[in-house]
Amino acid sequence: MPDRFIRAVCIGGLAAALAGIGTPVSAQKTESGPGSLIAARKYLEGRWSLITFDVFPPGQPPVTVKGQGTLTYDDFGNMQVEIRVPPDVVEPLREAGVPTDNGTLSMSGRTAIDLQQHTLTYFLPKQPPLGAPSGPLALNRKRYWRVDDKVLTLTTRGDDGKPLSVATWKKVP
């Protein structure tokens, strides 16, 4: 019985998240205006250019990607990320758990915003959102977001709370 209950809770949480709701609607400000879910979605909407991307493998030196990248977020919560990785960084990224496809790191799918915890959760097509971590960019790792003027910082954290990856993006006018 406990396994069935846990499974039901997980499925219910997943269904809510897939609907684009990071936490129950009553727990988030859904009205428009500063600090609302609508304002957060509107802020993210558009095209962003990569400023920095760093990966912090445990017990190893950081991997800094000095490539080019774009993040596009639409008004439906769909997001697409593409980062072109220089050849000399492809292998260190792979060793850190971030594989590329011919020097390109790309993801596209839906996001759920949690205003209270300042997190984004990604849901990629044909990818299970739950399960064991499989690297710094695993789907079950939330992206903690911070906004400073026109700069968006997305950080994934390990179980110990330390950063595993940090990407900063600048809004393209």
156-166 mean pLDDT: 92
Structure tokens at 173: 């006018």
Say if residues 73 and 48 touch (Cβ distance below 8 Å): yes
Cα 116–41–147 angle (5° rounding)?
65
Say if residues 150 and 43 touch (Cβ distance below 8 Å): no
The class of domain 2-171 in CATH terms is mainly beta
pLDDT tens, residue by residue, 28-62: 444 667 778 888 888 889 999 999 999 999 888 99
Helices (H) and strands (E) in the chain, counts: 3, 9
pLDDT higher than 50, residue 135 = yes
Mean pLDDT comparison of 7-11, 61-65, 116-120, highest-scoring range:
61-65
For residue 148, the model assigns a pLDDT of 87
For residue 28, the model assigns a pLDDT of 43
For residue 2, the model assigns a pLDDT of 39
86-104 mean pLDDT: 92
For residue 133, the model assigns a pLDDT of 55
For residue 8, the model assigns a pLDDT of 33
The domain locations on the chain are 2-171
Residue 22 or 50, more confident: 50
For residue 85, the model assigns a pLDDT of 94
Report the chain's mean pLDDT, rounded to a whole number.
Answer: 78
For residue 130, the model assigns a pLDDT of 52
Residue 124 or 168, more confident: 168
Q: Which residues of 143-168 are buried (b: 16+ CB within 10 A; e: fewer)?
A: bbbeeeeeebbbbbbeeeeeebbbbb
pLDDT higher than 50, residue 22 = no
